[in-house]
Amino acid sequence: MTDRARAFAGRPTAASPTTVRPAALSADGLTLGYGSRTVLQDITFDIQSGTWTAIVGPNGSGKSTLLRALAGLATPRAGTIALRGRPLGQWSRRERARELAWLAQDSGTTNLTAAEVVGLGRFAHSGWLSSRKAEDDAAMRRAMLATGSLPWAARRVTTLSGGERQRVLLARVLAVEAPVLLLDEPTTHLDPPHQQDIARILRDQAHGCGVCVVSAIHDLSLALTADRLIVLGTAGLIGHGTVKEALNGDWLSTAFRTHVDIVELAGVYLWRPALAGATSSSTETP
Amino acid sequence: MSAAHPDLAVLQDGPLPIDQGSRVFYWLAACVATTALLTGASLVVGTSSFETSLGWLFAPDAQSAVILWQIRLPRTVGAWSAGALLGLAGAIAQGLFRNPLAEPYLLGTASGAALGVTLCLLGADASIGALAWTAKLGVTGAACIGACAAIALTILLSRGVLQTANLLLSGIVVAFLLSAVTSLLLLAKPDLWRSMQSFLLGSTGFLSWNGAALLGIVLGICVLPSILLSRGLDALSLGEDTAQSLGLSLPMLRLTLLAVLSLATAAAVGQVGIVGFVGLVAPHLVRETITVNHRQLLIGAALCGGALLQAADLVSRWIIHPAELPVGAVTAVVGGIYLVVLLWRRSRHD
């Protein structure tokens, strides 16, 4: 078997028979920080394939730090992260890049065309020195079709609108065809319909393709459409569980240290902003 | 909607239209054509009149053959190669530092080369033994050693290549430090100043076939690894984290490309002195006119830089004919004006 064939064989699909598989991604006793600051202390969780997990929490609670660590871009102070049961450090760079695709919150300015950006997602498969093969083209086409970015293939990314650009960047992540997707705020700076489109694509990846999707989401209503939540507060992990569990435990109010009012409307959870004077402001902390 | 709509062509099977390949090809072809024209023109521009030169070209005698093929041709070929090296180095620097204002002399290479040449001339002045040594090494060798030492010092100061900001700051510090040492040495030995002048201002006047061949070989050595690693620069344009998440080894990419950058700059500076702006302007000119990935940008910047320095060389010979301007002065004026126009156009767009 070639490297590539192995990578595809190892790719979990919805149809594959489920034996006892290790969690797609797991953290054990993880402590993270940068500089002299410890952001997250001793957190442990498992994330399964085929689910979309949203990481929510106030600014500075360590959402990005956690995602960067899960992607292997930052070394934990303590604890281990395992990708499909094997510690992250034991994977080679290329192997890891095939298993785990990462979307940065802010992707720098590039002169590349949309298709070239998407093509970057294929490098872990084709190698840095060899040229694009037919299967790379096929994967790029699938990713761009899934995100609806195919019509802009030959256009310079800088000439696209914010929503179009985010679809292209998302297609770059999907083109890796990795079993684990990590996305840092994929919906920021987008208008609500575009946020909804991105969320739909992520849900399709998790439920349709059996991918483990983990994303930091700023918008609470949007985050509540995910399968599971990892709720971070300023003092660390508040909880990890289904959306129902999070709501029953009122984890969001704990995390944001203010009353977070969630209402259910036709099976969808919505965050209701408090109007001035409408609710008691006694729970507000500056 | 009709299938003839250009955007819908991509929905059909076949390879993806990934870039604007044909436009890039025509652009590169135009660069090559310009170079051919400039090479032709450079054969008939010199101290003697245009008509005389043209006469030499069609009815050569022994003396004119030497002027045409041993003086003018190697000079323009060498100028092209040096410009190509600077253009390539500039494109690499801008990609590596993700900064459109980066240029080949960023890491202290120019100051290091100047110090190397100063020390070499000082040594030749001081003793017969050192003179024999410096004759072997040559001004080129001294400039190369100085440039490479400056880069090594910069990397040492920034403690590795991982922190871009540290690297840039160290480069500035090293450049100032080495320039100060050079200035002090020149103050102590004022007669050195005259011999250094053409080097500091940049000059294509001393290029021989040996120099041109050396530049050509270095260009060959530099182009290959840059092209191979150009997709790494593409990935880097999306950010350092993204590049690493794609499976790229950032230190390996940085070190290899810094080595190429140093070699290209050191060779060019050693042969033609400190010619400014070519390395900065060439990649800009490519990016402003066509949509390119880094492979196309590196080739385009090299071809464009070559043509630019050839043109500057031609202007420096022709503008105050029969005397000559230092080519560095020409590139500084033209490059400066181009950058001002660029800034002005940008601010009007915003």
DSSP state of A101: E
Dist CA A215 CA A200 (whole Å): 13
Residue of A nearest to B239 (CA): A108
Count of CB atoms within 10 A of residue B119's CB? Answer: 18
Judged against a pLDDT cut of 50, whether residue B2 lies above it is answered with no
pLDDT reported for residue A277: 56
pLDDT reported for residue B322: 76
Chain A residues whose CB is inside 8 A of the B248 CB are: 93, 123, 128
Type of residue numbered B262: S
pLDDT reported for residue B123: 80
Looking at per-residue pLDDT, the higher value among B75 and B343 belongs to B75
β-bridge partners, A215:
A54, A183
Q: Could you tell me if A177 and A211 are in contact, meaning their C-beta atoms sit under 8 angstroms apart?
A: no
Dist CA A203 CA B211 (whole Å): 62
Which of B7, B18, B293 to mutate: most A Cβ within 10 Å? B18
Nearest-Cα distance to chain A for B9, in Å, is 8
pLDDT reported for residue B130: 67
pLDDT tens digits for B95-118?
999 888 899 998 898 899 889 988
Residue of B nearest to A70 (CA): B245
Nearest-Cα distance to chain A for B51, in Å, is 47
Dist CA B134 CA A108 (whole Å): 47
pLDDT reported for residue B244: 92
Q: Could you tell me if A255 and A233 are in contact, meaning their C-beta atoms sit under 8 angstroms apart?
A: yes
pLDDT reported for residue B34: 95
Q: Could you tell me if A153 and B19 are in contact, meaning their C-beta atoms sit under 8 angstroms apart?
A: no
pLDDT tens digits for A82-93?
999 999 999 999
Q: In what order do the strands lie in the sheet with A52-56?
A: A100-103, A180-184, A212-216, A52-56, A228-233, A236-242
In the numeric block, the tokens 């064989």 are attached to A9
- Chain B contact present for A137, CB below 8 A: yes
Dist CA A28 CA B136 (whole Å): 63
Query: How sure is the predictor about B330, in pLDDT bands with cuts at 50, 70 and 90?
Result: very high
Percent of chain B clearing pLDDT 70 (strictly above):
91
β-bridge partners, A230:
A55, A240
Closest CA to A14 of A41, A51, A42, A43: A51
- Beta carbons of A115 and B297 less than 8 Å apart: no
Dist CA A235 CA A256 (whole Å): 11
pLDDT reported for residue A189: 80
| Token pair of B79 as six digits | 């100028």
| Bridge pairing between strands A25-34 and A37-47 | antiparallel
Q: Residue B228, CB half-sphere, CA atoms under 13 Å: how many?
A: 13
Residue of A nearest to B296 (CA): A112
pLDDT reported for residue B220: 96
pLDDT reported for residue A276: 67
Type of residue numbered B105: Y
Question: DSSP string covering A113-165, please?
Answer: BHHHHHHHTTHHHH-SSSPP-HHHHHHHHHHHHHHT-GGGTTSBGGGS-HHHH
Q: Where are the extended beta strands (E) located within B146-211?
A: none
Evaluated on CA atoms B227, B228, B230, B233, the torsion sign reads negative
Closest CA to B47 of B335, B341, B316, B298: B316
pLDDT tens digits for A168-189?
999 999 999 999 999 999 998 8
Count of CB atoms within 10 A of residue A75's CB? Answer: 9
Looking at per-residue pLDDT, the higher value among B17 and B340 belongs to B340
pLDDT tens digits for B170-226?
999 999 999 999 999 988 888 887 778 878 888 888 888 988 999 999 999 999 999
Complex ipTM value: 0.84
- Beta carbons of A153 and B16 less than 8 Å apart: yes
Closest CA to A58 of A235, A244, A189, A213: A235
Dist CA B341 CA B284 (whole Å): 12
Instruction: Answer whether the bond into residue A87 is a cis peptide, omega within 30°.
Output: no
pLDDT reported for residue A221: 92
Question: In this complex, which of B8, B237, B245 lies closest to A102 when CB atoms are compared?
Answer: B245
Which of B8, B163, B238 to mutate: most A Cβ within 10 Å? B238
Residues 6+ positions from A142 with CB-CB distance below 8 Å? A174, A175, A177
Residues 6+ positions from A150 with CB-CB distance below 8 Å? A141, A144, B10, B11
pLDDT reported for residue B136: 66
Chain A residues whose CB is inside 8 A of the B235 CB are: 120, 123
DSSP state of B313: H
Type of residue numbered B315: V
Judged against a pLDDT cut of 90, whether residue A7 lies above it is answered with no
pLDDT tens digits for B224-256?
999 999 999 999 999 999 999 999 999 899 989
Judged against a pLDDT cut of 80, whether residue B129 lies above it is answered with no
Mean pLDDT of A201-215: 94
Mean pLDDT of A129-133: 75
- Beta carbons of A128 and B229 less than 8 Å apart: yes
Angle formed at CA A108 by CA A102 and CA A111, multiple of 5 degrees: 110
In the numeric block, the tokens 């990578």 are attached to A7
pTM for this structure?
0.87
Q: Could you tell me if B200 and B332 are in contact, meaning their C-beta atoms sit under 8 angstroms apart?
A: no
- Beta carbons of B238 and A110 less than 8 Å apart: yes
The phi and psi torsions of B67 (rounded to 5 degrees) equal: -60, -45
Evaluated on CA atoms B251, A165, A185, A170, the torsion sign reads negative
Residues 6+ positions from B201 with CB-CB distance below 8 Å? B273, B274, B326, B328, B329
Angle formed at CA B257 by CA A165 and CA A120, multiple of 5 degrees: 25
Q: Could you tell me if A246 and A259 are in contact, meaning their C-beta atoms sit under 8 angstroms apart?
A: no
DSSP state of B18: -
Scan residues 142-161 of A and list those with Cβ closer than 8 Å to B.
150-154, 156
Question: In this complex, which of B10, B241, B287 lies closest to A104 when CB atoms are compared?
Answer: B241
Chain B residues whose CB is inside 8 A of the A69 CB are: none
Dist CA B309 CA B83 (whole Å): 5
SS3 call for B9: helix
Judged against a pLDDT cut of 80, whether residue A48 lies above it is answered with yes
- Beta carbons of B249 and A93 less than 8 Å apart: yes
Query: How sure is the predictor about A63, in pLDDT bands with cuts at 50, 70 and 90?
Result: very high
- Chain B contact present for A3, CB below 8 A: no
pLDDT tens digits for A138-169?
899 999 999 999 988 888 998 998 889 999 99
Q: Could you tell me if B282 and B85 are in contact, meaning their C-beta atoms sit under 8 angstroms apart?
A: no
Dist CA A200 CA A192 (whole Å): 12
pLDDT tens digits for A189-202?
888 998 999 999 99
In the numeric block, the tokens 């140093």 are attached to B262
- Beta carbons of A119 and B18 less than 8 Å apart: yes
Judged against a pLDDT cut of 80, whether residue B132 lies above it is answered with no
Q: Could you tell me if B251 and B311 are in contact, meaning their C-beta atoms sit under 8 angstroms apart?
A: no
